[in-house]
Each structure stands twice: as structure tokens, then as C-alpha cells.
Amino acid sequence: MKEKICSWVNKVPILFCFLVCICTLGISSIFVWDDNPITGWDKLVGDVCITLFCMIFLWCLGLWKKAGFTRAGFGRGLLLGIPFYVIGICAAVIGNIGTDFAALTLRSESFLVLFALNMFFVGMNEEVLMRALVLNVLRVKYGETERGDVKAVWISALIFGLIHLPNVFFMSPLTVVVQAVNAASAGVLFAVIYLKSGNLWANIIIHMIVDFLSLFVGQCFTSGASVLSMELTIGGVVGMIIAGSLPPLIVAWFYQKCKSAKRTD
């Protein structure tokens, strides 16, 4: 059975990757019982189930050892993630322009813990799916060479951007366009960091940190409404895409050219 699955996946890897992503979106839609798509026990349960679902495929496809559940390369990965920490801080600053910080009230300590858990499992869910599973399936197909890795990185990043499109059901279309394009660009850098470090845990922590930084104030506090208008125009969309997508792509290109950062496994 495992051999048949592996043979089919190797024949149509992109189709498989899309089908797996669609299945994870389906799993996520099952666990929805409040109006907050970012935090909550429903989101947490859904992300845990998605992670386990992807881990089953890692085992079935013989990719578990390639996934990066190891200590080696963890520090290198966190160091390579510095640009993402900067991106997270910038997103937090821009997203809270005009916020009356004196009026902020913490929702509760328990909500803060739940928020942190959600950020961790969002990172784990997306990194296990996109880097451990999707990226490695594509690398097996196209070859674990420099050229094969470039192809796998860009295809996986494109898929990563596309799976954000269903957010149109609870966000404005222009916001979703920005999110999808910037997510694809971030996916390129996440993939490069993963390949350079060989450590999935580092990617998970980096993903958690950038999400935590950018969403912390808006999700964990009340009475701090920003006076910044978030209604996007076409010009605003173009500006946000340029500001959000160019930095990770430039850093990814630099990392790719930096041979000293190459993974050692």
C-alpha cells in the first residue's frame, strides 16, 4: 500500500500537494464554532489535527527522516530567521499606528496562554505541511540538487500563497490578495531557511514568533482601536505587496548565494 502511494505521489507530486492542502482546509473548516479565524480552542484543535494528518503522510511516504525533527541545525535556523523577527516587529508597528496604548486592556491571562498555543500550532501546522511534506515531496520529484531545490522552493511557495485564498470568506478580497502574495514570498524564505538549516523546529519557532509579534496587540488586548484606516485601495495593495514581498525574496536570494550557510546533513 505504501509503495503504491509513493509511486502515485511521485507521478503527480503537484496534484498530491494541492489535494493534501485542500484536505487540510477541509479539516480546518470542521473545527469552527466561533467567529475568530485566528485564535480559539476550535482553531487549536484544527491545527493539531492537521499536523497529525500531515505526519501520517510523512511516515507513509518515507519522508520522516527528511522532515527535520532533530536538534541539529536548530541554532543555525533561528539565526537565519532574524529577518522574519524584523518583519514581525515592523508588522506590529505598522498595524498599530494610531493605537491608544494607554487604553489597552489585557483580555485575560488564560486568553494570552491560548493565543500563544495557537501561534505555536499555527506555525507547526503550516511548517509540517508546507516544508516537511510539500517541499520534500517536490524535492524527491525534482531531485535534491541546487536546480531541483529552486524548483521545489518556488512551487511550494506558490502553493503556500494559494492556500490563503479561502480567507476571502472572512476578509476583504484586496486584503486576501495582499496576504496571499506576501505569504508566497514568505514561503520562499521559510523554505530556504529550512533547506539551509535542515531543522523543522527552527522554522516552527520562527513562524510562531513572527505571527505572535504581528498579532499580539490586536488579539490579546481590547479598547485599543487604531485610528489608522485599514480600508485598502489598489495603490495601497501594490505598496503593501512590494513592502511585504520584496524583503523576504531579497533575503532568500542572499541566503541562496551564501554557501557557508548550507545545511550539513
Q: What is the pLDDT of residues 1-48, one digit of tens each?
A: 677 888 889 899 999 999 999 999 999 889 887 766 677 889 999 999
pLDDT at 234: 84
Distances (CA, A) of 79 to 2, 122, 219, 240, 242: 37, 21, 27, 26, 25
Higher pLDDT, 126 or 264: 126
200-240: per-residue pLDDT in tens? 999 999 999 999 998 898 888 886 544 444 566 788 889 88
106-154: per-residue pLDDT in tens? 988 999 999 999 999 999 999 999 999 999 999 999 999 999 999 999 9
R_g of the chain computed on alpha carbons: 19
CA dihedral 207, 212, 213, 218 (to 10 degrees): 140
pTM of the model: 0.91
pLDDT at 229: 41
- At residue 55, does pLDDT exceed 50? yes
Q: Which residues touch 258 (CB under 8 Å, ≥6 apart)?
A: none
Buried b / exposed e along 62-76 (16+ C-beta atoms within 10 A): ebeebbbeeeebbeb
Whether 262 contacts 136, CB under 8 Å: no
- At residue 260, does pLDDT exceed 60? no
Query: What is the secondary structure of 92-154 as a DSSP string?
Result: HHHHTTT--GGG-EE--HHHHHHHHHHHHHHHHHHHIIIIIIIIHHHHHHH-SSHHHHHHHHH
Which cell numbers in the block locate residue 162? 494559494
Angle at 108 between CA 105 and CA 114, to 5 degrees: 125
